[in-house]
Amino acid sequence: MSAHESSREGYDFAHPLPLPLLFGVFVALTVLTVITVAQASFDFGSYDILIVMVIATIKALLVGAFFMHLAFDKPFNILCFVASFVFVALFISFTLFDNHATNMDDIPVLDDAVVVAAPEGA
């Protein structure tokens, strides 16, 4: 006996998606990956990490929505998925704020002269 006796024939998969939609998401993910790689050759200063994180977030949302079928799932699962992104964003922002506060380049140098200690007994 099968474990799925109550299921009807052809209805074992919860959310069958049309192939053009799945290939469209695949093309979008590929284009976003190419944009991420191309972005590495440009210098946007402190906005580099912001640009890369936005692209990565869009890619993760596409994967979650269509390949993990969250777009058709219960709202609680979507809430958990979005909440995880919010917490990751908080953790990264706190880390970047701390990095900015402890960065050695931000410490002002008042005198460029080298201080040499006088030898003992002199």
Q: What's the pLDDT tens digit per position in 14-42?
A: 668 889 999 999 999 999 999 999 999 99
The DSSP code sequence of 47-64 is: GHHHHHHHHHHHHHHHII
pLDDT of residue 57: 87
**What is the residue range of 98's domain?**
19-104
CA 88 to chain CA centroid, nearest Å: 8
CA 42, 54, 24 angle in degrees (round to 5)?
Answer: 100
Distances (CA, A) of 29 to 75, 82, 94: 24, 19, 29
Q: How many domains does the chain have?
A: 1
Please indicate, yes or no, if residue 97 is contained in any of the structural domains.
yes
pTM: 0.61
Please indicate, yes or no, if residue 116 is contained in any of the structural domains.
no
pLDDT level of residue 1 (50, 70, 90 thresholds): very low
Task: Specify whether the CB–CB gap between 36 and 56 falls below 8 A.
Answer: yes
Please indicate, yes or no, if residue 85 is contained in any of the structural domains.
yes
